[in-house]
Structure 1
Amino acid sequence: MENFQLENKDSIETKACNAIRKAILSGDFPPGKKLVQEQLARQLDISRMPIREALKQLEIEGLVKIEPYRGAFVNELDTEAIHENYALRSELEKMALQKAYPFMSAKDLADLDALIQKMDQASHEDFVQTNIDFHYLLLKRCPWKRLSTFIQVLWNGYSQQTPEFLHGQIEKSNEDHKQIVQALKNDEPERAAYLLHDHILNTGKRLIAFIKAKND
């Protein structure tokens, strides 16, 4: 698997988690495969400790099952759980943007534009991080901290990596971003919020279709 490698961002643990998650979602690590810590550490050229922590995180996400005395195994991908994740994100982020809008500044909008321009020129790897930055800035001014915490929990996991394996996702995603920001500039926060809602929900649908196609 020549694509099974670390990305140049975040902590070693996060890099390991991203690499293993990507291999699972792309089908390189099929359901039932045993994930041997020593082997993964050797492949990624890191120690076992970040692998162990990454597998714990992937178990929380439902992608891995850790069995006492047996080890970690890849789970069947639960498309209903993925649908739930994106459905919740679409509703909560829509609400957060509505709450954030009254506190957004002209500089926030300019910074969002700058991130969109950066994504237009970005590699797949750079797009993933810039996309995260864009969504963070879009909702940064939301005064409801508990709502922001819920959204962050839902963001952990496959939401961050869909641009890496969904064909055409980068172009479609950034076109959506442009429409959202334009609605904000036009003083249409409700329209922007619903565009964000549809952007997230449709990405979830494409991810589920991708997984089902892989399993056919």
Structure 2
Amino acid sequence: MSRKFELRLESHELDTLHIKVCRVLREAILRGHFQPGERLVQEELASSLGVSRMPVREALRKLETEGLVIIEPHRGAIVKSLSVEDIQEIYGLRSQFEKMAVEMSVEHMEQDDIDQLEELVVAMEQSKDATEFIECNIEFHRLLISRCPWKRLVNFIETLWNGFPQQTPQMLRDQTEKSNKEHREILQAIKKGNAAEAGKLVHGHIKRTGDNLVKSLQESLE
């Protein structure tokens, strides 16, 4: 297992321990600290993070559902390769599904929902901490679709959000600045009650991010 970097747990009081471990391991995988095909040894990870094996085991199981590792009998967790096709599929589906969900959600939003979206947009614009931005970004996108009456659609979207979509603000250069501008535009459309425009903006926001991720991955492989 790679020893060229330091695994460190940050303090997030509301998170359970295995969620903290999962966040650290997810970022390490996406940043290439663990290479595709590399075996993740529970004992070594637990020792590096200063935790027991249980939260590491639970974190690896979650990463398997996200498609970042494969758990094989007698070998344990193996890092999967991240392909251009994976990104294109996930972001292609997200751009379509979230557009639909936002269009339906806006029609049922109350003023409290809009106020919370405003607070999150301001928090992201003022944030200097990557982890804080990521958490606000996740909550912003969750709120955008929270009033959608099609619960199966919402469940599909939540599944697609697992894994690297959560980490894109840390993976792409200038992502936070572009996202802040786009988030503000989405909020303005919602304030006007323009569901179609909000859906269109969300679609473009997600598609741009996916396209940039594909470009970044292709450049890293050259």
TM-score between the two structures when normalised by the length of structure 2: 0.91
Give runs of ≥4 in structure 1 deviating > 6 Å.
Answer: none
User: Distance between the aligned counterparts of 1:199 and 1:5, measured in 2?
Assistant: 31
Change in 2 beyond 3 A, CA 1:3/1:197: farther
> Of 32, 38, 50, which residue of structure 2 is paired with 1:45?
50
- Deviation per residue, 1:142-180 (Å, 9 max, x gap): 111111111111111111111122111111111110011
Q: CA deviation at 1:3?
A: 5.6
Assess if the C-alpha contact under 8 Å between 2:68 and 2:163 holds in 1. Answer: no
Q: Report the aligned-residue RMSD.
A: 1.5
Corresponding position of 2:77: 72
> Of 5, 20, 28, which residue of structure 2 is paired with 1:23?
28
Paired residues for 1:154-173 under 5 Å: 154-173=160-179
Q: CA deviation at 1:206?
A: 1.6
Q: CA deviation at 1:13?
A: 1.2
Q: CA deviation at 1:93?
A: 0.8
Which one-letter code corresponds to 1:107 in the other structure?
A: D
* Equivalent pairs, count: 216
Assess if the C-alpha contact under 8 Å between 1:82 and 1:204 holds in 2. Answer: yes
Corresponding position of 1:5: 8
> Of 147, 154, 159, which residue of structure 2 is paired with 1:141?
147
Percent identical pairs in the alignment equals 47
- Deviation per residue, 1:63-85 (Å, 9 max, x gap): 21222112222111122122111
Corresponding position of 1:107: 112
TM-score between the two structures when normalised by the length of structure 1: 0.94
User: Distance between the aligned counterparts of 2:212 and 2:130, measured in 1?
Assistant: 17
Describe the SS at the equivalent of 1:5. coil
- Deviation per residue, 1:53-109 (Å, 9 max, x gap): 211222222221222112222111122122111111111111111111111122322
Q: Which runs of 5+ in 2 are unaligned?
A: none
Paired residues for 1:153-192 under 5 Å: 153-192=159-198
- Deviation per residue, 1:90-139 (Å, 9 max, x gap): 11111111111111122322221111111111111100001111111111
Assess if the C-alpha contact under 8 Å between 2:18 and 2:55 holds in 1. Answer: yes
Describe the SS at the equivalent of 2:131. helix
2:200 paired with 1:200 = no
Q: Which runs of 5+ in 1 are unaligned?
A: none
Which one-letter code corresponds to 1:41 in the other structure?
A: A
Q: CA deviation at 1:4?
A: 3.0
Q: CA deviation at 1:2?
A: 4.6
Assess if the C-alpha contact under 8 Å between 1:7 and 1:125 holds in 2. Answer: no
Assess if the C-alpha contact under 8 Å between 2:5 and 2:33 holds in 1. Answer: no
